[in-house]
Structure formats: structure tokens, C-alpha cells
Amino acid sequence: MKSSITQGVKMLATGSAVPDLCINNELISNIVDTSDEWIFNRTGIKERRILSGSTSLIDIAALASIQALDKTNINALDLDLIILATSTPNDLFGSASQLQAKIGASRAIAFDITAACSGFLIAMVTAAQFIQNGSYNNVLVVGADVLSKWTDWSDRRTCILFGDGAGAAILQSCSLLENNILGFNLNTNGQKFDQLNIQYEYSKKEDLFSTGIKGNFKYITMNGKEVYKFAVSKVPQSIQCCLSSLNLSVKQINWLLLHQANERILNAVASRLMIPSEKVISNLSKYGNTSAASIPLALNEAIEDSRIQSGDLVVMSGFGAGLTWGTLILRWNA
Ligand code: COA
């Protein structure tokens, strides 16, 4: 089959933003029967940021996007495409167009991708296709979520886990030699969709046409133990599969950047792959699980504080509702 790849993809820069309001474990233990000790020991989380007042998903997504753009020599008008990975849109028809308007990227086509905690990775892979086949040159990929809006703050099994945030990456076409998005592996098991979801509940009430299809979305529900087992067994397989498709070995990994769901999951995946803990990027203690934002938020922090250096091999894996999981391998070049 003829390859449709005509261009390489280069990640130029990243950005991130979190809301100001910080909720620590002590505060949560005033609301539900839990403790800082329980939450920290079981998850590694100390505090999380929560959207408040009139600040919206779009505001934090725009801050992250502008921060990333400011590190490049292109501006919003140069963007051809914006992909917003979010499962908590402002508008069920999609929120990416509001982001496009807010940052003044009037030339760009903009759309949402809904894939929960794997959303950023899937959006990156989607963006890379548009660049590799020569359709677009400059693409903004954003992962942003405000799961606090869908959290049942009386459910101690879930309300301790999530926080809000946004992260962004600017991708640009380049020669095949300069390509730094090396490869990916994506997977879905829809049989297990009900292990972690925000269900739409049909109402029994009569509506205008007696269709019975009126209703509302419920809160996050999760089978914590099953999700934990799923992540620890499937993520290492995805990483191995992606590495071997590129003839790379685990030893060549400089940084393991997993979706920030639970410190014990990060440690278990690293230990299954025999990756030393110094190579594992974690910012969970400060933000909890920020869903689609977690990978770009952690990536941006590790680039900004110079942990990730030019030439480093960064293995990123996302996992979560769907159930969906996957890996993307980046050779970071500043
Ligand atoms: N504070 C105190 N006790 C709590 C608690 C809390 N916040 N949440 C649950 N418990 C209690 C349970 O009621 C249970 O008590 P019991 O033994 O008397 O019945 C006990 O702690 C153990 O509960 P369990 O659910 O078995 O805990 P766990 O070790 O599985 O940890 C999670 C719970 C949620 C931290 C863990 O399952 C997890 O992180 N799973 C993955 C979730 C995830 O990452 N989801 C997002 C993926 S994108």
C-alpha cells in the first residue's frame, strides 16, 4: 500500500493552566468520611484545583493555548486546526469553536474529541494524521477537563480523585527527518464502558411526543478496583507494543509520562516494565486526576523545569473511560 505520510510532525511547544482554587485533602475530609492519610496513601494526591466563579473550561484552555503559542514563532492566526480533547464541554455541540474565538484563531477549523483520560493522546494522534498527509501545517492540541462539575461530592470513592486543568501542545509540519512524534498505539474495550462513566439517565416523564427520551447526565460512577486492574495490566502492553513497532527498547526510555490517575498505578506500571522511579513523571500530589489535561500538564511542567531535555525519549500513555488506552512516543527536541 502506498504510504500517505508526506510530512514529519514536530512538537514545538507546550503550555498549561489550572484554576486558582485549591482544595486539599483536609477540606475534603470535612465533607465526606475520609482523611488526608487515606487519600495520600491510596492515591498520592494531596490537593487539586477546582474551577470556581465565572471561570470556564474555555478560559483555562485558552490560557494554556496562549502560553504554548507564546513559546513559538507562530501566532493564533497561523493555526490551521484546533483539536480540543474534553469530556466536560461547555456545549454538547462542542467547545472547540469557543476556544478558537477566544484566542482569535479565525483561520482554524476547530472540533472536540471526547475520549476521557485518553483524550489528549487521541487528539495528538489525530492531529498528526492531518499534518503527515500534508493537509495542515500548524495545529493546536488541547486537553482540558473540569470533572469537578460532574463529581458527586458526597461519594468518597470518587470525589477524592479528580481536579480541573488544561494543557496544550503546538504541532507543526516538518521534514520527515525532523519528525519527533515517533509512533503510537491506541485501544478501546467498549464491553467495559460501564466501569467508569457519566451516564445519561432516561426520564420516565412524558415528553411532548411521548418518546420517553428526556433525561439528564448523572455523576461520575466508577468501579475503582476494576479500573485499577485494567490500567496496570493494559498500559504496559500498549507501551511494549508501541516500542517494538519502532524497534526501541524499554531501556531507551528517558521519561515515562502516564496519565496522572493514581501514584500506585504509576509505580505498578513502571515496575512491570522495570523502569526506575527516577524516570517516572508525577505531579499527582498537586492536581489529582485532571483527565484529558493530565498528560499535557505534566509534560509542560517537566519541559519548563528542564527535567525533559532535547533528545529525550518520552513515552506517554493515557487510559480511562471507554475503556480506552494508548501510548504515544515523542523524541523531544527543543
Ligand atoms: N476514604 C476512606 N475510606 C474509603 C474511601 C475514602 N475516600 N474510599 C473508599 N474507602 C473505603 C471503602 O469503603 C472500603 O472500606 P471497607 O473495606 O470497609 O468496605 C475501603 O476503603 C477499601 O475500598 P476500595 O475501594 O477497595 O479501595 P482501593 O484500595 O481500591 O482504593 C481507589 C480506591 C479509588 C483509590 C482505587 O481503586 C483506584 O485508584 N482505582 C483506580 C481509579 C482511577 O484511577 N480512576 C480513573 C482512571 S482514569
CA-160 nearest atom, ligand 1? 7
For residues 64 and 290, is the Cβ–Cβ distance under 8 A? no
What is the C-alpha to C-alpha distance for residues 319 and 324, in angstroms, rounded to an integer? 6
Show the cell assigned to 101: 474565538
Give catalytic residues, as residue numbers. Answer: 117, 259, 289
- In the chain, which residue ranges form alpha helices assigned H by DSSP? 25-29, 36-43, 57-70, 96-103, 119-132, 224-245, 263-272, 284-287, 294-304
User: Which residues in the chain show pLDDT less than 50?
Assistant: 1
Query: Are the C-beta atoms of 97 and 154 separated by less than 8 Å?
Result: no
Q: Give the class (CATH, top level) of 8-178.
A: alpha beta
Residue 38 makes CB contacts below 8 A (sequence gap 6+) with none
pLDDT confidence of residue 200? 87
* Helix, strand, coil percent values for the chain (each to nearest 5): 35, 30, 35
Per residue in 63-104, pLDDT (tens digit) is 999 999 999 999 999 999 999 999 999 999 999 999 999 999
The answer to whether 8-178 and 181-191+222-331 have equal CATH topology is yes
Q: Which residue out of 29, 42, 269, 324 has the highest number of ligand 1 atoms within 8 Å of its CB and is therefore the one to mutate? A: 42
Which stretches of 175-207 are assigned E, i.e. beta strand?
181-188, 196-202
Contact 130, 334 (CB under 8 A): no
**CA 157 to ligand 1 centroid distance, Å:** 5
pLDDT at position 208? 63
Give the per-residue pLDDT at 1: 45
Domain boundaries, the chain: 8-178, 181-191+222-331, 194-219
Q: Is the distance from the beta carbon of residue 221 to the nearest atom of ligand 1 less than 6 Å? A: no
CATH architecture of the domain 181-191+222-331 equals 3-Layer(aba) Sandwich (3.40)
Residue nearest to atom 48 of ligand 1 (CA): 320
